[in-house]
Structure 1
Amino acid sequence: MNIAHLLRRSAQLHAHQPAVLHGSEPLWTYAQLGTRTAALAGYLRTQCGISPGDRVAIYAANAPEYLEALHAIVWAGGVSVPVNYKLHAKELAYVLENSGARTVLVSQALAATAREAGGPESALLVLGSPAYAQAVAHAPIDVCDRAPNDVASLFYTSGTTGRPKGVMQTHRNLLAMTACYFTDVDDVLPGDAMVYAAPMSHGAGLYNYAQVLRGGRHVVPLSGGFEPAELVQLAASVGQLTLFAAPTMVHRLVDHVRATGADVSGFKTIVYGGGPMYADDLRNALAVMGNRFAQIYGQGESPMTITALSRAQLADRNHPRWAERMASVGVAQSLVEVRVVDAQGQSVPTGETGEVVVRGDTVMPGYWNHPEATAQTLRDGWLCTGDMGALDADGFLTLKDRSKDVIISGGSNIYPREVEEVLLLHPQVREAAVVGQRDAEWGEVVVAYLVAGEDGAVGDAVLEALCLEHIARFKRPKEYRWVEALPKNAYGKVLKTELRGMGMVASKLDG
């Protein structure tokens, strides 16, 4: 079944209900959204030559058109490739080439970057442009028939090799993810609204399907992103507001509410994920905003669906292990199995640490054109997450460390290897190791430890310029620390745990 059927169904069942709002102003009903989506799908099919299975990229900041673009691609039988709009042109170029995207739907402000990345002019369709207005007025087509295991989306996630990999998310994966939302995260009631404060290219956008299925409203802030004061205003004017947010966003929202005394009754649910929520921050959030929180743990390889910590579990302060549960990421979601295993793939005893593995209908079939990485990640039907954790006797999972050393800054994943490779392009950088350092605002920030070549160290401005030439701005290090040598074990592997410890000491001294 094509997941686009969810929108087609709601366009009939909830035809006159508001579907998309820009700020607090309604733009389109579900009937209008369905009509525009079917027309855009027809344009992609006849004018852009998109056949079933062809890839179409979306390189755009949050906008009302994002939702119909996402659905139109699968409505036409294509495969959506949502791209982080913060990516550098060189990074975008790799995604477009690797995916083989035939068309790019792009924000006006990002069109020049898309052209720089090598996207042919004829293949660019700028959201909101006169050409786009013609596209959503095109002759409509019906939803293309697709099998459950056909790929619906390619989600590009970097790995320790530094090159992004395209996670193949099937229609079955996304439908199972949507079902899990209702059973494990939150229900969608009449009048509910999802506000897209986090990028629609990531987790926030994946939650659109649950809202579409139940005829919920979709709110795109006028700012296009996360502004605490704006969200408070939208909660008051729109009401029954749900958002998906990184822990750093939750922290900023809670600080704003505490400082202003704002009314939070318009917020229904805040789902947080994408990074660690520290216990003190969660206690403060519950104290300031009440029992409005739920947590999810997932990966692109099992989108939004490995474990969940429900609103009820977070609110159950009388439970004897409430503090431990609050520090966990919850229990396995309903349509997946979760285990913790040793290096041989055998389950470890309760309470012991091992690698978290998961299987179920949400788990990807593999990486796009990358059989080696697929074989390493999918073993005997189980997804090896690379995350280390422990299960308690009640099935609550507590994450201990991230074995892949991913840095999560402001909810965005940053993989050290890709930053290290850029730094090593400079002839005066002999060795480089990048780690995350805890930060009150961003959760973690990137810190680079460098060993100089024979001619000595170079200034921060030189390295800053080098990074900005090759990678997205949010990935660049916030600090460059020159050291005599990097700590290594007997096999020559850099001991990043020691580097993180050095960073903690330096932070205390600086403070």
Structure 2
Amino acid sequence: MNTAQWLLRTAGVAGDCPALMRGAEPVASYAEFAARAEALARALADGGLMPGDRIGLFMTNCPDYLIVCYGVWLAGGVVVPINAKLHAKEAAWIVKDSGARGIFVTPDLAEAFAAETDTDLIDISGSRFARMISGGRFPPVSRGSDDLAWLFYTSGTTGKPKGVQITHGMLAATSLCYPIDVDPVSPEDAAYYAAPMSHGAGLYALIHVRMGARHICPVGGGFDPVELLELSERLGPTSMFLAPTMVRRLTDAAKATGRDGSGIKTIIYGGGPMYLADIEEAVDWFGPKFVQIYGQGECPMAISSLSRVDVADRTHPNWRARLASVGRAQSMVEIVIGDDTGTPLPHGTPGEIMVRGAPVMPGYWNAPDTTVKTLKDGWLMTGDIGQLDADGYLTLQDRSKDVIISGGSNIYPREIEEVLLQHPSVHEVSVVGRASAEWGEEVVAFVVSAPGEEMDPAVLEAHCIEYIARFKRPKCFISMPDLPKNNYGKILKTELRRFLEEEA
């Protein structure tokens, strides 16, 4: 089934209900939302879009984001969401690799992106887009559960982006897990998009569309904790996905302004490690409104969940261990802990987290070798190390990949290392994460200068900004005469992390 049919069904029974909002301002009812998406689908089809063709979205959070998504799906196309924080060069690479026929952009990103690609670019603030969403109705193109719907680019350990193929069936499975394993949804609810709609927050929009809830985009397009508190008081009940660092900022803002979070229904947190002290403080202030989820792009938002009861109930004898976990398997997946060969291990034994079920991807885009390494006998090899207790609670212990999670965003050291190695003053470099109370982790680069050169942090920072997104650039550059290596010449990042711990 084409997932976009959920919008048409909701519009058919709740057309007059508010759907899209910018802050407190209504932008479209469900009938208007559906009509604009159908008009866009017709415009895309008339322009030659065929089922399975890809369309990019390089957009900051805004109500039109959902109109574009559903318009593409209604036309039988595939959405390629691109993180708005990426450098225009990085976004252009994704567009090229995906073979996208066109890309929708918000005006703040249009100029820089236009200089990097010759792909058809549609600025949603322009007259062309206005015409595209004002045409006639369009019947949804038939799509099956195995047909591609959402091509999500994530980076691997090599730093090269990989396109995770997310099908209509996966979207449905992930969406239906939400009211069972995360939080029930009603038409009176509002989904607030504080986190990027190109990621999990956008995926959670689908179940809220199906249930006829409201969709609120911040006026500024990003996370403003004071605005969130004010709008939830005014418009509640409001639910949202937040990275752990965003939860910390929300708690600080609430305490500073004396707000108790009235109107906030549910805060789903994930995407990085949550300090126990931070979640305990948040629950003390806001009450039992928090649910944790664990997922990956390869099984989006749907591996495990820790219920609001488990997060808030401190009467259970194992409450602290459970709070440190990421909960139990969601309804549509199985979780197994395996050894290096994938053989299941007993409860309490650390090993690689393996997942299978309807929300698991069929593979990576144009990367069969990587797919074979990641999917083994139907199991997704997550690359994360964890353990299950006898009650099925999953605890993450380490990441076998060297990914750095800063502010809820994945940062891949190899990508930064390759950029730094392009600078003539750099001979060797190794990038690791350092614990940060504000961001969860921050990027640190250990640099060995080329002969006759001296490290200049300002120069290297400017070099990074030229090629990669600002949030990926190192917060600190440390000059080293040599990098620690083993007998095979492999850089020992464990030694670098130990150095940072000792210096803290």
TM-score (norm 2): 0.99
Give secondary structure in 2 for the equivalent of 1:480. strand
Query: Aligned pair count?
Result: 504
Quote the residue 1:267 is aligned against: 264
Give secondary structure in 1 for the equivalent of 2:288. coil
Quote the residue 2:31 is aligned against: 31
* 321, 344, 358: which one aligns with 1:324: 321
**Aligned residue identity for 1:35:** A
1:95-110 to structure 2, matched below 5 A, reads 95-110=94-109
Alpha-carbon distance in 2 for matches of 1:309, 1:138: 45
Alpha-carbon distance in 1 for matches of 2:17, 2:494: 53
* 451, 454, 457: which one aligns with 1:457: 454
* 242, 267, 284: which one aligns with 1:287: 284
Give secondary structure in 2 for the equivalent of 1:262. coil
Identity value in percent? 53
Does residue 115 (structure 1) correspond to residue 114 (structure 2)? The answer is: yes
Quote the residue 1:358 is aligned against: 355
**Aligned partners of 1:104 and 1:119 also within 8 Å:** no
**Aligned partners of 2:187 and 2:214 also within 8 Å:** no
**Aligned residue identity for 1:3:** T
C-alpha displacement of 1:27: 1.4
C-alpha displacement of 1:190: 2.9
Does residue 424 (structure 1) correspond to residue 421 (structure 2)? The answer is: yes
Residues 1:472 and 1:194: Cα distance change in structure 2 (over 3 Å): same
Quote the residue 1:59 is aligned against: 58
**Aligned partners of 2:89 and 2:113 also within 8 Å:** no
1:159-238 to structure 2, matched below 5 A, reads 159-238=156-235
**Aligned residue identity for 2:237:** Q
Give secondary structure in 1 for the equivalent of 2:135. coil
**Aligned partners of 2:42 and 2:75 also within 8 Å:** yes
C-alpha displacement of 1:94: 1.0
Summarize deviations over 1:100-126 as a string: whole Å, max 9, x none.
000101111111122122133xx1111
Quote the residue 2:81 is aligned against: 82
Summarize deviations over 1:225-279 as a string: whole Å, max 9, x none.
1011100111111110101000000000011112221131210000001001111
**Aligned partners of 1:488 and 1:495 also within 8 Å:** yes
* 456, 465, 468: which one aligns with 1:468: 465
Summarize deviations over 1:288-333 as a string: whole Å, max 9, x none.
1110000000001001010000112212211110000000000010
Does residue 69 (structure 1) correspond to residue 65 (structure 2)? The answer is: no
**Aligned partners of 1:434 and 1:447 also within 8 Å:** yes
Structure 1 stretch displaced more, 80-89 or 266-275 = 80-89
**Aligned partners of 1:43 and 1:139 also within 8 Å:** no
Alpha-carbon distance in 2 for matches of 1:280, 1:321: 16
Alpha-carbon distance in 1 for matches of 2:399, 2:128: 45
**Aligned partners of 1:204 and 1:244 also within 8 Å:** yes
Give secondary structure in 1 for the equivalent of 2:494. helix
Alpha-carbon distance in 1 for matches of 2:63, 2:346: 49
* 225, 237, 243: which one aligns with 1:246: 243
Alpha-carbon distance in 1 for matches of 2:162, 2:183: 30
Alpha-carbon distance in 2 for matches of 1:75, 1:419: 38
Summarize deviations over 1:428-450 as a string: whole Å, max 9, x none.
21111101111111111100011
Alpha-carbon distance in 2 for matches of 1:284, 1:364: 36
**Aligned residue identity for 2:249:** R
Alpha-carbon distance in 2 for matches of 1:457, 1:503: 22
Quote the residue 1:311 is aligned against: 308
Quote the residue 1:127 is aligned against: 124
Alpha-carbon distance in 2 for matches of 1:160, 1:58: 25
**Aligned residue identity for 1:214:** M
**Aligned partners of 1:246 and 1:273 also within 8 Å:** yes
Structure 1 runs (4+) greater than 6 angstroms displaced = none
Structure 1 stretch displaced more, 53-62 or 450-459 = 450-459
Summarize deviations over 1:440-471 as a string: whole Å, max 9, x none.
11111100011122113220111112111111
**Aligned partners of 1:24 and 1:234 also within 8 Å:** yes
Quote the residue 2:294 is aligned against: 297
Structure 1 stretch displaced more, 287-296 or 129-138 = 129-138
**Aligned partners of 2:54 and 2:100 also within 8 Å:** yes
**Aligned partners of 1:40 and 1:140 also within 8 Å:** no
Give secondary structure in 2 for the equivalent of 1:139. coil
Alpha-carbon distance in 1 for matches of 2:116, 2:109: 11
**Aligned residue identity for 1:79:** V
Alpha-carbon distance in 1 for matches of 2:43, 2:364: 29
Gaps of 5+ in 1: none
Summarize deviations over 1:75-131 as a string: whole Å, max 9, x none.
1000000001111122112101100000101111111122122133xx111113211
**Aligned partners of 2:54 and 2:80 also within 8 Å:** yes
C-alpha displacement of 1:427: 2.4
C-alpha displacement of 1:161: 1.4
Quote the residue 2:19 is aligned against: 19
Alpha-carbon distance in 2 for matches of 1:326, 1:119: 49
Gaps of 5+ in 2: none
**Aligned partners of 2:352 and 2:382 also within 8 Å:** yes
* 405, 412, 415: which one aligns with 2:412: 415
Superposition RMSD on alpha carbons, in Å? 1.0
C-alpha displacement of 1:7: 0.5
C-alpha displacement of 1:280: 0.9
* 251, 255, 277: which one aligns with 2:252: 255
**Aligned residue identity for 2:59:** A
Give secondary structure in 2 for the equivalent of 1:26. strand
Does residue 5 (structure 1) correspond to residue 5 (structure 2)? The answer is: yes
**Aligned partners of 2:55 and 2:78 also within 8 Å:** yes
**Aligned residue identity for 1:14:** A
TM-score (norm 1): 0.97
Alpha-carbon distance in 1 for matches of 2:295, 2:490: 29
Give secondary structure in 2 for the equivalent of 1:132. helix
